[in-house]
A and B are shown apart, each in its own frame.
Chain A
Amino acid sequence: MTGQTPPVLAVERLGIAFGGLRAVDDVSFEAGRNRITTVIGPNGAGKTTLFNLISGALRPNSGHVRIDGREVTGAAPAALLRLGLARSFQITNLFFGLTVAENLRLAAQVLEPTVRAFLPVRRARVARARVGELLERFGLAAKAAELAGNLSHGEQRRLEIAVAMASRPRILLLDEPTQGMSHGDTEDTAALIRALAADVTILLIEHDIGLVMSLSHHVVVMHQGGKLAEGPPEAVRANPAVQAAYFGHA
């Protein structure tokens, strides 16, 4: 921390309670520019709820979320996306009745200047070009005209990330991107995420510990809604409290 430039994404004492249950309790961490920060923790630790708070799906009861030092706590998802924060979902959340290309075009059309919102879609050049890039980058070109609902699970997960990337976000929240994937697909996805980190700050939820260790620059461990530990992967793994609470159970 030089104190000069604020962190790309900063979470400060964030909390939310459902009824009496503190689903996320006083969690703080920062995500460094173009680095992969991974949130781990046992099921029910509050990881997805944390993502929901950061991405605007839920409004926190307490604490702050800042993007480049700018207060964005409680902003709507749409506003956050326009500030450069996009997310993917743990349960594949696509437009299953649209083709792969249409899914991507829909997601990429925010790049289009506002006036073009009222011109026919075939005139949306910026979005179309972006769709082409994404199809290449995510290896979906052959499936461009396929309905999203007809893709394999692995392809859907990849499209899920591609849709999140369509708006050229600066910050990308990936909620278990490899969930349910075969070993080969997992490896491919890991390589993809690593490559994405060249120009995007990534916040990741991941269960595969091998993957967490190899991908992450920074790991945040959650347990029962709170932050148990954070640090470089090896340091976190060596932390006795983490081992007791998390690795012990896993």
Chain B
Amino acid sequence: MPERPARSFPGRPVADRLSLSMRASHLLVVLLVVAGLALAALGSALGDTFYLRLATEALIYAGLALSVDILLGYTGLLSLGQALYFGIGAYVSALTLMAVPSFWLALLAASGATLVAALIGGVIANRVRGVYFALITFGLAQVVAKVVYNTRELGASDGMIGVPVVEVPLGPFHVSTGSAPGFLLVALALLVLLYAVSAYLLDTPFGRVLIALKANERRVAFLGYSTWRARMAAYVLAALVAGLSGALYPMLRGFVSPELLYFQVSGNAVITVVVGGVGTLVGPIYGAILLTVLKSVIGSWTEHQLIVIGVLFMASVLFLPQGLIGLLRPRLARWLGRAEPPPAKAAEAEARP
């Protein structure tokens, strides 16, 4: 930073707390990329596909969780129907691939459809706040899920199978969606991109307005910003993240089904965010990985994994307001910025029983 106008608080870091904690998140994402590359290398060396595909699925659901976190963690809006956009992304991607087997076209179509759906859904959902917002998003997703479930053209309750394996052209390289390590890297790249764009936007004045909505919506209007537009922007951004993540789903599994739009998927994403860390962006990503691991590990002993996940989730709500990442990130942030411990966190922790 060459020029620093108005350095009026000597000795204090100029970067604000949010930028600092974001830097800590970035570090954790770098770690994730390294782990992902290592896993892909290891997996392809050992000829494994099962664990690579499981990891890919975790990354896809991580994108959905990221989308929930943009709304809940930054703008303060709890969506209980984010699976709606995940599902729309997945269905449109599947339909596109079955018509024209092009990876980029599928992503483009999925984002286009998600954008349109989010504009409509946003106009509906943003008429209300708080729990009413939670319930209206829940209701919207249920309506669409039931419609899809009953629409023969979309395969009704069976969904659609036979989504072809396609090549993913990446400049000079080609990766097949059928290659387990290759597609893991594609999913990782998309997730990192979605994370980077979200983190970047939240660190701009535009993003700060979205964040201000959570803290004090009433005042935001008197700072010169339309709160409706800000909420819409957050809603559409989150929907696009969910839609693009969903677009990868049929490439991984080769099918789509109405279950993708169900409350279980939306609810799972909310659990992921809360366990991983609300308002941290990286927390939901690690949360998705943790939950996937937990499910498959516990799943090998018992089919009742939900009980463990439910307990973990409730414990997070009660005792870890910033989830698992909340335990880790302040230390990282302090180490990175040598900033003072954010007094808010300390006060918050003390205030909690």
Name A's B-contacting residues (CB within 8 A). Answer: 55-57, 76-78, 81-82, 86-87, 89, 93-99, 101-102, 105-107, 109-110, 112, 116-122, 124-125, 127-129, 131-133, 135-136, 141-142, 144-147, 149-150, 163-164, 166-167
Q: Which of A76, A127, A129, A163 has the most CB of B within 10 A?
A: A76
Nearest chain B residue, comparing its CB with the CB of A102 = B16
Interface string of B1-15 (1 = CB under 8 A from A): 101011111001011
A81 adjacent to B224 (CB under 8 Å): yes
Q: Which 7 A-B pairs have the closest CB atoms?
A: A132-B6, A81-B224, A144-B9, A110-B224, A77-B221, A109-B205, A132-B8
A112 adjacent to B9 (CB under 8 Å): no
CB A26 to nearest CB in B, in angstroms, measures: 26
B201 at the interface (CB under 8 A from A): yes
Q: Given contacts A121-B203, A125-B5, A164-B222, could you give 6 more A-B pairs where the C-beta distance is less than 8 Å?
A: A78-B223, A93-B219, A110-B224, A118-B204, A124-B205, A135-B8
Which residues of the partner chain B approach A110 to less than 8 Å between Cβ atoms?
223-225
CB A247 to nearest CB in B, in angstroms, measures: 32
Which residues of the partner chain B approach A96 to less than 8 Å between Cβ atoms?
215-216
Given contacts A98-B215, A101-B9, A121-B208, contact A145 B340 (CB under 8 A): yes
Given contacts A122-B1, A125-B5, contact A82 B212 (CB under 8 A): no
Given contacts A118-B204, A127-B205, contact A167 B224 (CB under 8 A): yes
A120 adjacent to B221 (CB under 8 Å): no
CB A79 to nearest CB in B, in angstroms, measures: 8
Name B's A-contacting residues (CB within 8 A). Answer: 1, 3, 5-9, 12, 14-19, 200-201, 203-206, 208-209, 212, 215-216, 218-219, 221-227, 340, 342-344, 347
B226 adjacent to A129 (CB under 8 Å): no
Which residues of the partner chain B approach A97 to less than 8 Å between Cβ atoms?
215, 344
Q: Which of A93, A119, A125, A147 contacts B216 (CB 8 A)?
A: A93
Q: Which of B9, B203, B205, B218 has the most CB of A within 10 A?
A: B205
Given contacts A93-B216, A109-B205, contact A133 B6 (CB under 8 A): yes
Which residues of the partner chain A approach B7 to less than 8 Å between Cβ atoms?
132
> In the complex, A122→B3 CA distance in Å?
11
Which residues of the partner chain B approach A89 to less than 8 Å between Cβ atoms?
219
B223 adjacent to A107 (CB under 8 Å): yes
> In the complex, A142→B10 CA distance in Å?
9
B204 adjacent to A117 (CB under 8 Å): yes
CB B219 to nearest CB in A, in angstroms, measures: 5
CB B225 to nearest CB in A, in angstroms, measures: 5
Which residues of the partner chain A approach B201 to less than 8 Å between Cβ atoms?
118
Which residues of the partner chain B approach A141 to less than 8 Å between Cβ atoms?
8-9
Which residues of the partner chain A approach B15 to less than 8 Å between Cβ atoms?
122
A144 adjacent to B8 (CB under 8 Å): yes
Which residues of the partner chain B approach A78 to less than 8 Å between Cβ atoms?
221-227
- Across the A-B interface, how many residue pairs have beta carbons closer than 8 Å? 124
Which residues of the partner chain B approach A144 to less than 8 Å between Cβ atoms?
8-9, 12
> In the complex, A131→B208 CA distance in Å?
15
A76 adjacent to B212 (CB under 8 Å): no
Which residues of the partner chain B approach A121 to less than 8 Å between Cβ atoms?
16, 19, 203-205, 208
Q: Which of A86, A105, A128 has the most CB of B within 10 A?
A: A128
B223 adjacent to A106 (CB under 8 Å): yes
Which residues of the partner chain B approach A133 to less than 8 Å between Cβ atoms?
6
Which residues of the partner chain A approach B216 to less than 8 Å between Cβ atoms?
93-96
A167 adjacent to B223 (CB under 8 Å): yes
> In the complex, A94→B215 CA distance in Å?
9
CB B321 to nearest CB in A, in angstroms, measures: 12
Q: Which of B3, B17, B203 contacts A99 (CB 8 A)?
A: B17
Nearest chain B residue, comparing its CB with the CB of A131 = B6
> In the complex, A77→B222 CA distance in Å?
5
Nearest chain B residue, comparing its CB with the CB of A56 = B221
Q: Which of A55, A57, A77, A150 contacts B343 (CB 8 A)?
A: A150
The contact sample of 28 A-B pairs, CB cut-off 8 A, is: A56-B221, A76-B226, A78-B222, A82-B224, A95-B212, A95-B219, A96-B216, A102-B17, A106-B208, A106-B209, A109-B205, A109-B208, A109-B209, A117-B205, A118-B205, A118-B206, A120-B19, A120-B203, A120-B204, A121-B16, A121-B203, A122-B14, A122-B15, A125-B3, A132-B5, A147-B343, A149-B344, A164-B222
A128 adjacent to B204 (CB under 8 Å): no
Which residues of the partner chain A approach B224 to less than 8 Å between Cβ atoms?
78, 81-82, 110, 167
CB A132 to nearest CB in B, in angstroms, measures: 2
Which residues of the partner chain B approach A131 to less than 8 Å between Cβ atoms?
6, 8
